Chain A
Amino acid sequence: MSDDVTPDKAQSQWVLALRRLIKSRVALLGTSVLIVFILVGIFAPILAPYNPDRMFYGQETVPPFSKGFFLGTNSVGQDVFSYVVVGLRTSLYVGFGALAIEILIALLVGGIAGYYGGVIDELLMRFADVVMTIPPLILLITAVSMLRVRSLSLIIFFMAFVNWPWMARVVRAEILSKKEEPFVEEGRSMGFSKTYLLVRYIFPTILSPVIVLGTLDVAYFILYEATLSFLGLGDPTSISLGILVSIGRSVLVSAWWVSFFPAVVIFLLVFSLNLMGDGLRDALDVKTKR
């Protein structure tokens, strides 16, 4: 069961896609901004000059570009720059964390439904349809409100739970179109098990729509978390950009910078993810490529 029996079609497809992505300046811009943000997120503890929780008494609502406080302080004397840098890290953690769980659920449900078909397919897809009728943000607000402790990990889990049906449907449709292809037949004739065929033969070839959808979903997850935190329904102990915007709400006129900087970071993050997602769609999707 060495790698040489797996089709190399997938690899050449990736090289081609990468070339197309580089050609698209807009997508490249999105990807570059995102990489910078991810680096800032990784090195947040080093880049943040202070602990974002630390309150400087007597130094409340200090304007930006002041000595010691690059982006000023908020109404309780917390350093906005430190808060934004660590908040960015939280957003990325939430976005990619929820994506990982979503992909797992979608591959499992979509994979089983698409490959095994029949009654299982019908049942799983009807269930997905039903979950899709409940608007994600509304289901999310309902779910987290009943938690005794609103921890970030639980919020991440719920986000994946409310969003998986869309991806599962795409996975299922892709598997249906791939499972009768000659390279899968070839593997089947070699006597591989269904699970092995699914994981080693089919999954690598359906990754492109999953990546496109996943990139756009990360943007959604980041917005969901920021919105929940802004509304006061996020994890109250987390350092979240939504919480900082909410703190700045009461001092909107006198200290605009408190809500401005975190909001700009959320926007740039979501914007870069959407640019990258659109670019990837053009680079990978056969349908819009014509």
Chain B
Amino acid sequence: MKKAYILKRLFMVIPTLLIATAIIFSLLHLARSDPIEIMVRSSGKPMSPEIIEPLRARYGLDKPLYVQYIHWLVNLLRGDLGYSYVTNQEISNILPRKVMITLELVLTANIISMTFALLLGVIAAVKKNSILDNLLSVFALFTYSMPLFWVGLVAIYLFSLKLGLTPVAGSFTAGAHLEGIQYLVDHLRHMILPAGILSCAYLAYYFRLVRSSMLDVLNEDYIVAARAKGLTESTVIYKHALRNALLPIITFFAVSLGFVLAGSVVIETIFGLPGLGRFLVTAAFQRDYTALLSLNAVIVMMVVFANLFADIACAYADPRIRY
């Protein structure tokens, strides 16, 4: 039964990816600037039809939209993400390094924030309306409402410019030619501030989710029943309540990937980290249509697979999920 559910869920990934990429594809075509125009303009050649038309034919841009989409999709399946007219580079060559930087940032921040969110969220929910709960809740709402770009600027001002503790930007010291452990230390010094800020931002978000999820569960009848059976409070909370509260939390974590990536767009831009987020903003500025398309496709895939993973994890954690 479980296998059938997982297979069904896996099968659903295909139409989701197809429709999502089709939406992005059409959106980019709605009001896009002509990529050939951008290419010709950046090369400094005159904009004459003799130059533009052969190029358009060469890149298949003279064909109907759906043919272009299918063409792009076939190439994507082959691992060819296209050629950026603006930077004159194969996207597949530059993307992996950028994905690594973003993953490093986002995963570190996620692990730190999730650990603290689970710990603090459970405490706050169990001691609902206590001074600690109120303090934590206000602090979370406070952090949650801060514009992230402002927090980034203040952190740079404080830690980099005033105290001189961390470097201002980049993922390593340019031109230092460090190797081995020295490179690692240098890299960590660059990442600690952006990762720290993202952790705080995610913590505020996750804390609210964990707390409300725990509160919902603590109100359930089976918790009352567990207490009535005379179980110890810690057994009730950790074995009965937290286990059940974890299901929506797992789903929330996967759904939050969009929120998480949005945060990294802002932080990468401010700290000059060469990850996916900064690449997206640069591509948006340059109207680099191929880069935007493949970036969105990669991000959508990440979200879809995170959701798939969460659903499968839930199916294993919750015996009630049967299809």
Residues of A within 8 A of B (CB): 126-127, 129-139, 141-148, 219, 223, 226-227, 230-233, 242, 245, 249, 252-253, 256, 259, 263, 266-267, 270-271, 274-275, 278, 287-288, 290
Contact = CB atoms under 8 A, between A and B. Distances in A.
B198 interface: no
Contacts of B283: 145
Most A C-beta atoms less than 10 A away, residue of B15, B32, B149: B149
B281 interface: yes
Nearest to B141: A274
Contacts of A127: 19
B: contact size bracket: 35 or more
A135 B156 contact: no
Contacts of B142: 271
Closest 6 CB pairs of A and B: A135-B258, A145-B284, A137-B262, A263-B150, A271-B145, A270-B145
Interface string B208-222: 000010011001000
Contacts of B266: 227, 230-231
B141 A278 contact: yes
14 contacts: A130-B20, A131-B23, A134-B300, A135-B299, A135-B303, A146-B289, A227-B149, A231-B269, A231-B281, A259-B150, A259-B153, A263-B150, A270-B146, A274-B141
A274 B296 CA distance: 29
A287 B289 CA distance: 46
A135 B153 CA distance: 24
Contacts of B147: 223, 226-227, 230, 242, 245, 263, 266-267, 270
Nearest to A262: B150
Given A142-B295, A267-B147, A288-B212, 6 more contacts: A134-B23, A146-B27, A146-B31, A148-B31, A270-B145, A271-B142
Nearest to B147: A266
A55 B157 CA distance: 27
A141 B279 CA distance: 12
Interface in B125-160: 141-142, 144-150, 153, 156-157
A63 B216 CA distance: 50
Contacts of A288: 212, 215-216
A275 B142 CA distance: 10
Contacts of B249: none
Contact of B153 (A147, A219, A245, A267): A245
A270 B24 CA distance: 29
